[in-house]
């Protein structure tokens, strides 16, 4: 059955009921959210059966169609899956970071970014890896990290490079799930540039692989020795070398002066398609990104898409629901209708991250340490760029606004404005996720008492071009 509008059974008593009308998709995503909240509230009991399908339908007052669509979303998020037969029902799963990373990469790719943004984000975030990994690694971790490093020089597919895994494994040693997810996103985005940089002369690739392996050895030793400062220094040197190499490979983009390289072919988001619908969604999404389709572009009618992607109507519709979920495209009726590219929205990425971090029981401190690294880095960048006309104008506007007496409470837009001014979509998404998750857990995120005055001081140091003072003031503001 492929109804797009349903009238569900009349609701019985019970506060969980979600109403009787509405599109399947909206109802389904609300049911999925309720169930996700329930899983979190129960402490994420992996392997347990939540309830049978009839019981769940009764509880939420929804039809079979809606519940099945909700189950599809829960499966997409790796929260739960429907087990059929006797003793069946919704079974709680143990998610990995993949759906979260995919949701973030989809959003970032759809917004569009460039190599410089990815490298700059890595440069700000990865040094904390060195510090935390050296402080928190254990015997098992040492074995894993050494094993990963030893495997780097093993022969891989032509032109393939195994070095990226080192950073992922290193990030696990920090026991900070926020860092782990962000590093994975950066690694996936960076990997595409390695692919993009081909064809590189083979001996050049060999030279880079060897140099990387050598640098990783330094990071590994410092980490195992618990020498946090040395681990950080080694990581920073390594990232500078990587930036230089990428810069040379693609034409000066790595040094911050060359042309911005637009993220191009072979999108990685949604790459680990498990269901047929996910695979089809990934292919459509790949075409949207590859062809840089703007919002409003018609990708095709249903029948065109069924033909182009060689798929059934049912699978295509399930794929379209996934694309709608990720704000990539939506179906529009009527003349000129079909599947249409939508404006990027970070909602799916933020929700997926919130879900995964709830599963991992991320602490407020895990968010804050990453936020500090990013924001302290951003003020330094802005202080250095304060004379660029656009930046100067925006900073002046911010100063005017901050100088006016505050109506009610602190100016919470200050941090968002700084982030936007820096203009790095990768960091903008990371900070938006951190800010929203911090506020969900009730943490002030440092923006409390006398925030207005602190913001003015930070802005003052930026306008003076006093990089270190701007960093000091931001760090102090965030740690209070």
Sites of contact with Zn ion (CB under 5 A):
163, 447, 451
Tell the smallest beta-carbon distance from residue 373 to Zn ion (Å).
Answer: 16
Query: What residue is closest to Zn ion based on CB?
Result: 447
Name 167's bridge partners.
none
Q: Where are the alpha helices (DSSP H) in 61-153?
A: 64-76, 98-111, 115-136, 139-151
Nearest CB to Zn ion, comparing residues 50 and 427? 427
Residues in CB range of 255: below 8 A, 6 or more apart: 243, 244, 247
Nearest CB to Zn ion, comparing residues 348 and 447? 447
Tell the smallest beta-carbon distance from residue 463 to Zn ion (Å).
Answer: 17
Tell the smallest beta-carbon distance from residue 231 to Zn ion (Å).
Answer: 13
Nearest CB to Zn ion, comparing residues 130 and 163? 163
Name 341's bridge partners.
329
Nearest CB to Zn ion, comparing residues 318 and 370? 370
Nearest CB to Zn ion, comparing residues 298 and 416? 416
The separation between CA 259 and the C-alpha centre of its own chain, rounded to angstroms, equals: 25
Select from 434, 424, 435, 431 the least CA-distant residue to 111. 424
Helices 413-422 and 364-384, axial angle in degrees (round to 10): 60
Nearest CB to Zn ion, comparing residues 209 and 275? 209
Q: What is the dihedral of CA 375, 380, 381, 384, to 10 degrees?
A: 160
CB-CB contact of 470 with 462 (8 Å): yes
Nearest CB to Zn ion, comparing residues 249 and 281? 249
Q: What is the DSSP letter of 285?
A: H
Select from 449, 448, 462 the least CA-distant residue to 418. 462
Q: What is the DSSP letter of 388?
A: S
Question: What is the rounded distance in angstroms from the CA atom of residue 123 to the CA atom of residue 347?
Answer: 26
Tell the smallest beta-carbon distance from residue 368 to Zn ion (Å).
Answer: 13
Tell the smallest beta-carbon distance from residue 103 to Zn ion (Å).
Answer: 25
Helix or strand (DSSP H, E) at 188:
helix 177-196
Tell the smallest beta-carbon distance from residue 432 to Zn ion (Å).
Answer: 15
Tell the smallest beta-carbon distance from residue 50 to Zn ion (Å).
Answer: 40
CB-CB contact of 241 with 191 (8 Å): no
Tell the smallest beta-carbon distance from residue 175 to Zn ion (Å).
Answer: 20
CB-CB contact of 224 with 147 (8 Å): no
Nearest CB to Zn ion, comparing residues 99 and 163? 163
């Amino acid at each position: 059955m492929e109804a797009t509008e349903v009238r569900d059974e009349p609701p019985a008593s019970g506060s969980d009921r979600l109403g009787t009308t509405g599109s399947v998709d909206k109802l389904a995503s609300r049911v999925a959210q309720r169930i996700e909240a329930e899983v979190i509230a129960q402490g994420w009991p992996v392997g347990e059966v939540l309830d049978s399908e009839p019981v769940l339908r009764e509880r939420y007052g929804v039809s079979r169609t809606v519940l099945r669509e909700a189950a599809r979303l829960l499966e997409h998020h790796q929260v739960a899956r429907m087990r059929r037969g006797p003793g069946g029902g919704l079974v709680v799963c143990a998610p990995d970071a993949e759906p979260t990373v995919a949701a973030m990469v989809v959003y970032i790719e759809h917004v569009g970014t460039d190599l410089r943004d990815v490298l700059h984000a890595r440069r700000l975030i990865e040094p904390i890896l060195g510090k935390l990994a050296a402080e928190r690694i254990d015997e098992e971790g040492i074995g894993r990290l050494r094993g990963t490093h030893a495997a780097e020089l093993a022969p891989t597919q032509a032109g393939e490079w195994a070095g990226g895994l080192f950073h992922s494994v290193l990030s696990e040693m920090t026991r900070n799930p926020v860092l782990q997810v962000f590093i994975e996103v950066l690694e996936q985005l960076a990997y595409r540039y390695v692919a993009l940089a081909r064809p590189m002369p083979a001996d050049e690739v060999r030279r880079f692989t060897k140099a990387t392996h050598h640098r990783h050895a330094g990071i590994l030793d410092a980490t195992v020795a618990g020498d946090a400062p040395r681990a950080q220094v080694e990581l920073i040197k390594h990232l500078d070398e990587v930036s230089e190499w990428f810069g040379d490979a693609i034409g000066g983009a790595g040094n911050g002066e060359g042309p911005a390289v637009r993220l191009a072919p072979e999108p990685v988001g949604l790459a680990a398609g498990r269901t047929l619908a996910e695979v089809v969604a990934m292919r459509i999404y790949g075409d949207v990104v590859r062809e840089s389709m703007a919002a409003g572009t018609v990708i095709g009618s249903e029948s065109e898409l069924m033909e182009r992607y060689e798929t059934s109507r049912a699978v295509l519709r399930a794929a379209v629901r996934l694309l709608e979920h990720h704000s990539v495209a939506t179906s529009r009726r009527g003349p000129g209708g079909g599947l249409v590219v939508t404006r990027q929205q970070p909602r799916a990425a933020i929700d997926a991250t919130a879900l995964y971090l709830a599963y991992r029981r991320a602490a407020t401190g895990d968010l804050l340490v990453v936020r500090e690294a990013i924001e302290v880095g951003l003020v330094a960048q802005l202080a250095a760029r304060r004379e660029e006309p656009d930046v100067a104008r925006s900073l002046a506007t911010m100063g005017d606004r901050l100088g006016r007496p505050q109506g009610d409470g602190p100016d919470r837009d200050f941090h968002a404005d700084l982030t936007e001014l820096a203009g790095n979509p990768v960091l903008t998404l990371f900070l938006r996720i951190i800010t929203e998750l911090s506020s969900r857990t009730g943490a002030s995120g440092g923006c409390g008492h006398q925030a207005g005055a602190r913001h003015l001081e930070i802005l003052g140091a930026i306008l003076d071009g006093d990089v270190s003072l701007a960093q000091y003031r931001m760090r102090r503001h965030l740690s209070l």
